[in-house]
Structure 1
Amino acid sequence: MSLKKVLTGRVCHTLLSSTVRTPFAAFCTASQAPITPRYSLATKLAVAIPTALLGSWILFSEDPGTRVVIALQLPFRLARDIACAATIAADYKWSLRGLVGDKYEEAQHKVHERSAERLQRLCFANGGIYIKLGQHIAQLDHLLPEEYVLTMRRTMLDQCPVSTYKEVARIVKEDLGSTPEELFASFEHTPIASASLAQVHRATAHDGRQLAVKVQHAGLRDSCTADTLTVEFLVNSVHFLFPKFDYSWLVEEIKDSLPKELDFSIEAANAERCRKNFSSRQTHVRGRVAVPEISHPLSTKRVLTMEFVTGANVCDKQALARMGLKPKDVARLVSETFNEMIFIFGDVHCDPHAANMLIREKNGKPELVLLDHGLYKRITDEFRRYAGLWRALVFGDEAGIKQHAAAMNAADSYAFFACMLTMRPWEEVTRASADHLYLPTSAEGRKKIQGYASQFAREISDMLRRIPRPLLLLLKTNDCLRTVDTCLGQVLKIL
């Protein structure tokens, strides 16, 4: 470069920087400095607080590694939830647009089926709490559209996740201070049963007793709150888009019951009360109801050790026949047992599906073994109006039905409330000549009932949102018991 060009450049630079102080020059000079972004205090807090909470949640826990995994999985689980909810919402929106009458009903049936399949896949993909949600839906036979109930029932009740033995051994050691091999004379690595929240392993105590050890799936207690809030968000979003589908009552029930079911010390206490109740002089089925004995020294909030019991599934009619037992006697024993829970003791086992009830032969008569005492509901004396309501239903007493329905927050729709409880049209509920103790159990009758659930989905959802929480669980219990009666082929004329 020539000397002339160098000097010319330096002179121009000097003139620009010292004498020509224009706004443009100032801008050019400033633009050469590094830019430091400035964030508001609110923005900084919005980032810092969640980060600090997440870090504390991970660090100050018994198992930071598991919580790290949950934190990493959460965005993917949330993305699956949103994608599933958006797909279901769009399907309902577009498939039912402009349809009325029979065409609407036919299209709605198909959308229900597709949506139920999507929800089922989501439950299996996310696992844990979602499996429990699917099982809950599968048991609401007369309260939700049949497409959802039947889809969930086909797989959710017998296809549950299985934890590895390494995870099981880790939880046992964390909670009890020793490995399964140290605590027991033998401990089977393969579970004999697995459910949504836990799995059961057979073991032998050092004194020779046969035991069943229930171990909670890893990470459930940590992910419970986040999963429940996510499900609540999705249910509220669907309700916002489709006011007809308001299942907030289902979310509220899950929020209330799940923390209790995840605390096995509560289940142990429930089992002890149940055994005490059916050993008392108040019961009419004394000696015919059994509850596995709890081994408290080997039990914690995540591990429950109990007596190992054998028996036939309550719905296995072939096994009942081999024991010389009649299905009618079994159905009567089941019904009497739960009637006493509701109307005498006020302490109700609210998850009585077939897998939680075993039958044994004792002195030529059936003996009922009750399992899984995690979900109970205490019924107050004030709530005993429920008994008065059923008395009015049995006698077709319209004034009594209206009076007791008002106590259940259903005064303005007492007729529909009665129909929902009895699964019969109102004219049959109040007809003097009707058999008010009869509940339809034939395939045709059940299909008609399930059709009502689809047809009156909005009314049922509104009703379930308003009624007391204990009644909601009793309705679920009634549905489970009706299913047992149906599989036994019995129609018992008892409450």
Structure 2
Amino acid sequence: MKRATLLATAAAAVATIAVARWWRSTRATAPSEPAPPPRHAVRHLGRGARNARLVGVGARAGRDYALHRARRVFADAATRERLDTEFEMRTAEQVADALGHMKGALMKLGQMASYLDQGLPEHVRAALAELQHNAPPMSPELAADTIRRELGADPTELFLDWDPHPIASASIGQVHRAITREGRAVAVKVQYPGVEEALAADLDNVGLLFAGMAQLFPGLEHGPLVEELRSRLREELDYRLEAANQRAFARYYDGHPTIHVPEVLDRYSTRRVLTTELAEGVRWDEMLTWDQGERDLAAETIYRFAFGSLYRLHMFNGDPHPGNYLFRPGGRVTFLDFGLVKHFSAEEIQQFEDMIVAMVIDHDPAEFRRVCERIGLLKAGTAFTDEQIVDYFGHFYEFVMHDGVCTITPEYASETVRRFFDKSGPYGEIMKAANVPPSMVIIQRINLGLYALFGEMRATGNWRRLAEEIWPFVAGPPATPMGEAIEAWRARREGAVA
């Protein structure tokens, strides 16, 4: 469990705090554990009840830990290792089960914990990974009731065929297969009843969490950061906004060689129901069994989607986790879930460009420092040297710094997480002085999510040339065969418009 401490503190938030408090406690007794709510009771779990459920998880883990320590006392080394593994697995399953039933923002944190840090024991990550697309679903009756309220008829009347059992379930809604009366296969995302109240309760806890983090990291202005998170997460509750985002991405990438965004069917979509074409492809775990060449192509497509959308559309899909992709050979990737999308102003995009130019292209430490101070990443006048600042922030640009083939490793991804949260490490003082401006809150999902996925894929390529092709202030030539196909696609589009 020690290997999980850093990530759990950062990503499992309140649940981990409950467990940690018990471990530090010297009390002989623990609070009684509340009974788990029925699957349909998410609407009844307010802030107090959700906190009580988390405390219950902590109490149970604490009791298990006391028993676990007693069992280890007289065990040999091999038996202790087996007992440790069993305890880690049991605790991870308990946390995953609690967060899965609670839905909302806390379940999102559990999803992040499953892929952020490669240092987590594999069996722990596997337990949490179930939250990516296999969380406990709501009952078929509740899903049908939401369809009736939103679309005015029972799903069996609206659709030629309706599968009452979801094909995926996540933090805010679950997805059902259906066939329209016109014979089209679709995916119907149905929002959980009561999840809006659950999310509001979680956001109150997030505010308290970041207020506590501000004491550990004095440079962190937690107020604007929390408000940015509140705004983005509240937007996820309105599927009409998600539909608008998805339509914008689908229009732009229509006919793209490797990027596919499913079409939205407006007739079957409302604030709490979103219907799109049913996409095909394999899930993350199966893609990881493909050969390295295919994984590299998939990573290239994801990279192009993330940064191409940022610089060409000024939009970023801020939820890059394994459950949001479907893969086909040849680097073809379908992108799912556009609820957490950040729209950037031209000024904000310019800030990203200024940082890249100073750090990567010009190698100008003094200018990079000035940019960081101007946009609010660092306060002016700190005692750090320019070289110390570049040494810290340079890690995030490491694989595009030089022209050459580079593999993004699990160790690189784990180091990225540590540079955000491990204030006891060699960069602790800079971390405590650093800030996260509101415009960069969601974009940090690249550092904390996207690179973790690339590390698991061991994604390999000449990232510098790929980046220069994408960066509009460089506009380099196609860096790969995929880039050549994209250039041809873009030329056809521009010719059609002309």
Interval containing the TM-score (normalised by the shorter chain): 0.5 to 0.7
Tell me how many residue pairs correspond in the alignment.
387
Partner residue, 2:296: 328
For the pair 1:397 / 2:364, whether they are aligned, the reply is: yes
For the pair 1:376 / 2:376, whether they are aligned, the reply is: no
- Whichever residue aligns with residue 439 of structure 2, its letter is P
By how many angstroms is 1:351 displaced? 1.2
Distance between the aligned counterparts of 2:289 and 2:415, measured in 1?
31
Distance 1:415 1:473, change over 3 A: farther
Range with bigger deviation, 325-334 or 347-356: 325-334
SS of corresponding position for 1:358: strand
For the pair 1:337 / 2:305, whether they are aligned, the reply is: yes
Distance 1:192 1:152, change over 3 A: closer
Decide which of 24, 49, 60 is 1:76's aligned counterpart: 49
List runs of 5+ in structure 2 lacking aligned partners.
1-38, 62-87, 468-498
Distance 1:383 1:297, change over 3 A: same
For the pair 1:216 / 2:183, whether they are aligned, the reply is: no
SS of corresponding position for 2:331: strand
Contact residue 410 and residue 417 of structure 1 kept, 8 A: no
Cα RMSD between the aligned structures? 4.3
List runs of 5+ in structure 1 lacking aligned partners.
1-65, 89-112, 280-284
1:280-324 deviations in Å (ceiling 9; x for gaps): xxxxx9343211111101101110011001012356447755xx9
For the pair 1:484 / 2:453, whether they are aligned, the reply is: yes
Partner residue, 1:273: 248
Range with bigger deviation, 213-222 or 306-315: 306-315
Distance between the aligned counterparts of 2:390 and 2:257, measured in 1?
35
Distance between the aligned counterparts of 2:276 and 2:289, measured in 1?
24
Partner residue, 1:5: none
Q: Percent identity?
A: 24
Distance between the aligned counterparts of 1:314 and 1:469, measured in 2?
31
Range with bigger deviation, 163-172 or 443-452: 443-452
By how many angstroms is 1:218 displaced? 1.5
Distance between the aligned counterparts of 2:214 and 2:315, measured in 1?
37
Range with bigger deviation, 247-256 or 404-413: 247-256
By how many angstroms is 1:411 displaced? 4.0
Contact residue 232 and residue 340 of structure 2 kept, 8 A: yes
Aligned runs of 1:20-31 on 2, under 5 Å? Answer: none
Partner residue, 1:347: 315
Decide which of 105, 127, 146 is 1:129's aligned counterpart: 105
- Whichever residue aligns with residue 329 of structure 1, its letter is L
Partner residue, 1:303: 273
Distance between the aligned counterparts of 1:471 and 1:73, measured in 2?
30
By how many angstroms is 1:441 displaced? 3.0
Distance 1:444 1:348, change over 3 A: closer
Aligned runs of 1:82-231 on 2, under 5 Å? Answer: 123-124=99-100, 126-136=102-112, 138=114, 141=117, 153-231=128-206
Distance between the aligned counterparts of 1:230 and 1:130, measured in 2?
9
Contact residue 320 and residue 445 of structure 2 kept, 8 A: no
SS of corresponding position for 2:132: coil
By how many angstroms is 1:325 displaced? 6.7
Contact residue 202 and residue 308 of structure 1 kept, 8 A: yes
Contact residue 405 and residue 411 of structure 1 kept, 8 A: yes
Distance 1:438 1:119, change over 3 A: farther
Partner residue, 2:377: 410
For the pair 1:456 / 2:423, whether they are aligned, the reply is: yes
1:380-425 deviations in Å (ceiling 9; x for gaps): 1111220221232223321331232123212446766655554379
Partner residue, 2:441: 472
- Whichever residue aligns with residue 356 of structure 2, its letter is W
By how many angstroms is 1:377 displaced? 0.8
TM-score normalised by the chain length of structure 2? 0.65
Distance between the aligned counterparts of 1:123 and 1:245, measured in 2?
31
SS of corresponding position for 1:373: coil
TM-score normalised by the chain length of structure 1? 0.65
- Whichever residue aligns with residue 441 of structure 1, its letter is I
- Whichever residue aligns with residue 348 of structure 1, its letter is F
